[in-house]
Amino acid sequence: MLLPLLFTISLLFSSSAHASVLDFCVADPSLPNGPAGYPCKNPAKVTVDDFVYHALGIPGNTSNFIKAAFTPAFAPQFPGVNGLGISIGRFDIAVDGVLPLHTHPGASEILFVVEGTICAGFISSSANTVYFKTLYKGDAMVFPQGLLHFLFNSGQTLATAIASFTSPNPGAQVMDFALFANNLPSAIVEKTTFLDDAEVKKLKAVFGGTG
Amino acid sequence: MLLPLLFTISLLFSSSAHASVLDFCVADPSLPNGPAGYPCKNPAKVTVDDFVYHALGIPGNTSNFIKAAFTPAFAPQFPGVNGLGISIGRFDIAVDGVLPLHTHPGASEILFVVEGTICAGFISSSANTVYFKTLYKGDAMVFPQGLLHFLFNSGQTLATAIASFTSPNPGAQVMDFALFANNLPSAIVEKTTFLDDAEVKKLKAVFGGTG
Amino acid sequence: MLLPLLFTISLLFSSSAHASVLDFCVADPSLPNGPAGYPCKNPAKVTVDDFVYHALGIPGNTSNFIKAAFTPAFAPQFPGVNGLGISIGRFDIAVDGVLPLHTHPGASEILFVVEGTICAGFISSSANTVYFKTLYKGDAMVFPQGLLHFLFNSGQTLATAIASFTSPNPGAQVMDFALFANNLPSAIVEKTTFLDDAEVKKLKAVFGGTG
Amino acid sequence: MLLPLLFTISLLFSSSAHASVLDFCVADPSLPNGPAGYPCKNPAKVTVDDFVYHALGIPGNTSNFIKAAFTPAFAPQFPGVNGLGISIGRFDIAVDGVLPLHTHPGASEILFVVEGTICAGFISSSANTVYFKTLYKGDAMVFPQGLLHFLFNSGQTLATAIASFTSPNPGAQVMDFALFANNLPSAIVEKTTFLDDAEVKKLKAVFGGTG
Amino acid sequence: MLLPLLFTISLLFSSSAHASVLDFCVADPSLPNGPAGYPCKNPAKVTVDDFVYHALGIPGNTSNFIKAAFTPAFAPQFPGVNGLGISIGRFDIAVDGVLPLHTHPGASEILFVVEGTICAGFISSSANTVYFKTLYKGDAMVFPQGLLHFLFNSGQTLATAIASFTSPNPGAQVMDFALFANNLPSAIVEKTTFLDDAEVKKLKAVFGGTG
Amino acid sequence: MLLPLLFTISLLFSSSAHASVLDFCVADPSLPNGPAGYPCKNPAKVTVDDFVYHALGIPGNTSNFIKAAFTPAFAPQFPGVNGLGISIGRFDIAVDGVLPLHTHPGASEILFVVEGTICAGFISSSANTVYFKTLYKGDAMVFPQGLLHFLFNSGQTLATAIASFTSPNPGAQVMDFALFANNLPSAIVEKTTFLDDAEVKKLKAVFGGTG
């Protein structure tokens, strides 16, 4: 009696290789990317560890210039999120630390404060309105897609937060790095930002840019 | 006079290999899947038979435990639907037959009754409201995406129905198979469903599960 | 013991008015449409009849010029499909009847033959390739989005088919009606189609156009 | 010199009322829902508090049948997420507590463990494969859209977790509530689940169902 | 001090190979297409020339039957648009020239008149309403997705226009080519269009069709 | 004979009010916006002028601080694009004029140079790579969604360009306006950008900011 039943099951599911397209598409980074993400790993080789990520439990190293660190769990690190339109990451921000102004070109973000006190804000494109607030342990704030936003530690202790994104690979465009950490000629930076030459030269030195 | 015209045509169409991306993307299941479906078969090798499926004319085998069968025409069986966001299938439900409670994780469904009488229903997640009705030949019912629904033959003759889905590969998660047709330990099934141990053990035996 | 449980349930579900956004959005045609469909009917007033449609069991009237009829179950007729990206309809095609060349501007379609014999085809935009086939009872054919396609009865008996669409309101642009059933001046029809004046005038008379 | 500049700005931004469509669409729950979410609150009345949510800092009440609670920050509670395709919530699970098997019909989820030890798992629809793992503080797990999944406290202390969803209003369909907390007749439950009558009657009593 | 900073940067960006998925996905036409477009060119090999297209500055050859030409800048010609949901093209229409009735099966279009005078129009599917207007230098007109539309030079000088599309590869289905430039049997053309045999035969000869 | 035919037509089209959902959704800005755009104007009141926009033929006023102007044809100005995922605009850039660094939070853009010489570039988020090029009359360049980009006149004559966007209302976030044209406290600007106080104060004065 079981065989005919399983025959029915197999029809309901077609083959696992096919149906897996629907359930999930674990990234196979050995294949070329596409506009919708990575091709899918062979479902027969998928394990629970493709859907679990451990490194967010490890504090990031904040011994750096911005006294802050971001640990991503994006599709490249966390292959199970490929194709699912979501990812996550961890912020550690030391006292006086800051996540400089940045955008996520293709993702909205929700920040959740796990420990400490963070001043967070974003700026609308419609009227340059600034929306910022001091967030305490347990507070959440949403940053709409593509808008400039910032975080800094406004307390006396290390701050830790979890961020969720509406993309498996949201990336981040940090304004200072975009302006000062590459070979964009200083004359162009100045012409397109109205910053003065000394400021641009100084910050290119700080962020490792040339030109 | 024709050549310059055809020259214009070729510009309007760019090459068929490229423009075919737009018209259709017949599945090439020999290549790895992606989040948006299968890569496209070489358009030069596409024929009308990629867009036509015959097996839905053949009654499914209902000599099984549930006295019902589902014959899918999903992307793996019907490559022309790949990338088009639609597929179809056939239900045959013998007298006393049933399609047990199941969901389509990523698709809404419309059922159309070709022959016989079917009692069909779904349950909302918002308030556990049950929406069910006896359907007769020619009736249609829609099951919103991801919600538990069921079908059973409530008449005295074989029932046949056609189902359409908003995905080329909707799959199906049948509650009994999810709970009782795998190696999920009985203790976990019991803890997460409040079913008692005897019931779980009995149904694992019926559905071929272990643990 | 039950109250705290239900308290948990209500948290899991937030209110039915809100969660209904997710489960379904039954059309309220008394409110203005939006780009994504009709606003949602108050969930408290939704019944199973919003999700069930009976008229597809009634043969359409083929006593007309094309000896064919289409009975739609789109959002305006079948409010439960609003927002779900799917709809359905019924074709009746008498002997010698035809569904003239037409497109669905925003939907792909799967045709399923319930009774009779239908010759169906579509034309690619990439290379003007024609894909057509005689379909018998139980056959299915997919027409990719936006492409010109046609159906005609190629048998000796009435043909009936069910069509599913990837839109709750796919509409249809019938070439003859677009050219000859309105006030588009004959001179423009002729200039943009290369049809001759007599033909255009004749068909405008047939299809009720002017100019 | 400023006026002509601001004139340019106003062109670049068109009016804030319009551009706000793009930046964000804070929910106005006083207006009827639509398939894409709530209509937008007047941008002139939007404040930073529409984008910040405090209640996730408050432990949920776990003195209930499942010894667990879920606190949602969905569009109804957190209007700033409306239209942005993301939301968040908090789980509190006491020792021996459980979030019974459930699905989110239209959302994928990432769980992040803030405190304690949680056993979490989901079941694929393609082959009924179970993917489950014990998660510790700092671990994250992704549950693909629409699949049955569960959580239970597998440690000796209260567990707290944050969940992110790919919808501003994901809802949840809990299997036990869908089967046993409504008026779905026991005979239908039994026919579509193969559970025996005594079990169904017992659980309907527990979960407040009738029929 | 720079090293820890760059360490932070690399975390913020994950690897360029991965994050590039988000920024852009330049087409690699040497790989098989997928439903969402071409796989991505290796980001390390992407240059500014992938994002720039020069040929739209060159007038198309209007010495042809329709006295008009279209120069596409679609993904095959302009690989930087792959995956971005947009493309562009140039129309040159000589005096008395015409772009015959056509649709873009999967794209809406905005036309911008650079030089000359163009009569442009489209036909709705909902009521066969014709929307047409004479456009002068600097005018723009939008053609909604999938609807039949036309352009012809209604002035005394060459007309040039730029068209933008909501697809990286919109293609075009020209009614005359679909009907008369292939091997669709004349009998089927006549049956499905109500055109008479002489007209169909004449236009098949003009457009290079057979059958 | 015509009546039954028109009866068939009306079935094929259902009513124009309904089918208009599919063909187009002309903005009715008198109603509240939604996440997918404006509600639809009553189709009976739609005219060809809703689909045509004239103001792009008029040079913008470049007598301002940036010696440049942008004239938008977005949904608020050009209601026919509502819901269609596309819009257009015109740039005029005088000699020495510049469009400062900015992003479109939810849109990709294609720029087409109508007259003059423009240096245009964008910066990737993945590796801060700068892609910039001098564009001449007839050249096109694509800027992927959400990335910082700039334009300036690099020639000796007025430059004019047309930009197309993948949103009916893309807006623009100009870095200088976001930083210096609002009340974001200077101390926060400095902390999150590493600009020095004198520079921030100077530019707030230029751009009309406070704090």
Q: Tens of pLDDT along D142-166?
A: 999 999 999 999 999 999 999 999 9
Q: Residue B132 in 3-state DSSP?
A: strand
- Give domain status of residue F197, yes or no: no
* Domains of chain B: total: 2
Nearest to D84 by CA among B37, B130, F35, E78: F35
**E63 vs B contacts (CB less than 8 Å):** 4
Tell whether the model's pLDDT for residue D13 goes beyond 50: no
pLDDT tens for residues F40-95? 999 999 999 999 999 999 999 999 999 999 999 999 999 999 999 999 999 999 99
E strands, chain B, are 52-53, 68-73, 87-93, 98-103, 109-115, 118-123, 130-135, 140-143, 149-153, 159-165, 173-174
Among the residue ranges A145-154, A199-208, E14-23, F100-109, the one predicted with the least confidence is E14-23
- Give domain status of residue C208, yes or no: no
pLDDT band per the 50, 70, 90 thresholds, residue C21: very low
In terms of domains, do C66 and C146 share one?
yes
Q: How many C-beta atoms surround the C-beta of residue C197 within 10 A?
A: 11
- Region F14-37 average pLDDT: 74
B19 touches chain C (CB under 8 A): yes
Provide the residue range defining the domain that includes A101: 54-171
For the four alpha carbons of F17, F21, F25 and F29, in that order, the dihedral sign comes to positive
In terms of domains, do D98 and D137 share one?
yes
- Give domain status of residue A210, yes or no: no
In terms of domains, do F60 and F162 share one?
yes
D126 touches chain F (CB under 8 A): no
Q: What DSSP letter does each residue of F129-154 carry, written as one string?
A: -EEEEEE-TT-EEEE-TT--EEEEE-
In terms of domains, do E36 and E60 share one?
no
In terms of domains, do A64 and A167 share one?
yes
pLDDT band per the 50, 70, 90 thresholds, residue C76: very high
What's the confidence (pLDDT) of residue A126?
86
Among the residue ranges C15-19, D8-12, E185-189, F130-134, the one predicted with the least confidence is C15-19
A189 Cβ neighbours under 8 A, 6+ residues apart: A179, A180, A195, A200
CA dist., res. B8 & res. E67, Å (int): 9
Q: Answer yes or no: do E8 and A35 touch at CB < 8 A.
A: no
Q: Label each residue of chain A as H, E or C.
A: CHHHHHHHHHHHHCCHHHHHHHHCCCECCCCCCECCECCECCHHHCCHHHCEECHHHCCCCCCCCCCEEEEEECCCCCHHHCCCCCEEEEEEECCCCEEEEEECCCCCEEEEEEECCEEEEEECCCCCCEEEEEECCCCEEEECCCCCEEEEECCCCCEEEEEEECCCCCCCEEHHHHHHCCCCCHHHHHHHHCCCHHHHHHHHHHHCCCC
- Give domain status of residue B78, yes or no: yes
pLDDT tens for residues A30-47? 999 999 999 999 999 999
In terms of domains, do B101 and B132 share one?
yes
D118 touches chain A (CB under 8 A): no
pLDDT band per the 50, 70, 90 thresholds, residue C12: very low
In the block, which residue shows the tokens 């994950």? E14
In terms of domains, do D83 and D164 share one?
yes
Cα dihedral angle (F175, F181, F187, F193), rounded to 10 degrees?
Answer: 10
Residues belonging to chain F:
211
Token readout for B121 is: 């229903």
In terms of domains, do D167 and D65 share one?
yes
List the single residue in D19, D57, D164 with the smallest CB-CB distance to A110.
Answer: D164
- The DSSP bridge pattern shows strands E118-123 and E130-135 to be antiparallel
Q: What is the CATH number of the domain that holds D154?
A: 2.60.120.10
In terms of domains, do F166 and F76 share one?
yes
Tell whether the model's pLDDT for residue F191 goes beyond 50: yes
CA dist., res. E60 & res. F176, Å (int): 41
Q: Do chains A and E touch (3 or more CB pairs under 8 A)?
A: yes
pLDDT band per the 50, 70, 90 thresholds, residue F159: very high
- Give domain status of residue E197, yes or no: no
Q: Answer yes or no: do C125 and E105 touch at CB < 8 A.
A: yes
F207 touches chain E (CB under 8 A): no
Residues in a beta bridge with F91: F70, F161
- Region D22-46 average pLDDT: 93
- The DSSP bridge pattern shows strands E173-174 and E68-73 to be unpaired
**B7 vs E contacts (CB less than 8 Å):** 61, 64
pLDDT tens for residues C107-156? 999 999 999 999 999 999 989 999 999 999 999 999 999 999 999 999 99
Tell whether the model's pLDDT for residue B184 goes beyond 70: yes
Q: Answer yes or no: do B103 and D101 touch at CB < 8 A.
A: no
In terms of domains, do A117 and A74 share one?
yes
pTM value? 0.94
Yes or no: say if C109 and C165 are a contact pair by the CB < 8 Å rule.
yes
- Region E99-128 average pLDDT: 96
Q: What DSSP letter does each residue of E142-159 carry, written as one string?
A: EE-TT--EEEEE-SSS-E
**C15 vs B contacts (CB less than 8 Å):** 126
- Give domain status of residue D181, yes or no: no
pLDDT tens for residues A79-134? 999 999 999 999 999 999 999 999 999 899 999 999 999 999 999 998 999 999 99
B202 Cβ neighbours under 8 A, 6+ residues apart: D196
Cα dihedral angle (A157, A158, A164, A169), rounded to 10 degrees?
Answer: 150
pLDDT tens for residues B54-106? 999 999 999 999 999 999 999 999 999 999 999 999 999 999 999 999 999 98
- Give domain status of residue F32, yes or no: yes
B85 touches chain A (CB under 8 A): no
For the four alpha carbons of D179, D180, D183 and D186, in that order, the dihedral sign comes to positive
pLDDT tens for residues E59-86? 999 999 999 999 999 999 999 999 999 9
Q: How many C-beta atoms surround the C-beta of residue E191 within 10 A?
A: 18
Query: Which residue of A6, A7, A14 to mutate against B (max B Cβ within 10 Å)?
Result: A14
List the single residue in E19, E73, E142 with the smallest CB-CB distance to F84.
Answer: E142
F30 touches chain D (CB under 8 A): no
Query: Which residue of B167, B186, B194 to mutate against D (max D Cβ within 10 Å)?
Result: B194
Tell whether the model's pLDDT for residue B135 goes beyond 80: yes
Cα dihedral angle (E43, E45, E49, E50), rounded to 10 degrees?
Answer: -50
F191 touches chain A (CB under 8 A): yes
**Distance from the E154 Cα atom to the nearest Cα atom in chain C, whole angstroms:** 11
**Distance from the D107 Cα atom to the nearest Cα atom in chain A, whole angstroms:** 9
What's the confidence (pLDDT) of residue B126?
86
In terms of domains, do D39 and D74 share one?
no
Yes or no: say if E69 and B6 are a contact pair by the CB < 8 Å rule.
no
Q: Do chains F and D touch (3 or more CB pairs under 8 A)?
A: yes
Yes or no: say if C130 and E184 are a contact pair by the CB < 8 Å rule.
yes
In angstroms, how far is the first alpha carbon of chain B from the final one?
77
What's the confidence (pLDDT) of residue C107?
95
CA dist., res. D116 & res. D130, Å (int): 23
In the block, which residue shows the tokens 């859907």? A51
What's the confidence (pLDDT) of residue A76?
93
Cα–Cα separations (whole angstroms), residue F131 to B147, C176, E46, E51, F149: 47, 49, 10, 8, 9
In terms of domains, do B59 and B144 share one?
yes
Name which residue leads in pLDDT, C13 or B197.
Answer: B197
**Distance from the F173 Cα atom to the nearest Cα atom in chain D, whole angstroms:** 8
E strands, chain C, are 52-53, 68-73, 87-93, 98-103, 109-115, 118-123, 130-135, 140-143, 149-153, 159-165, 173-174
- Give domain status of residue A120, yes or no: yes
Nearest to F83 by CA among D83, E108, D84: E108
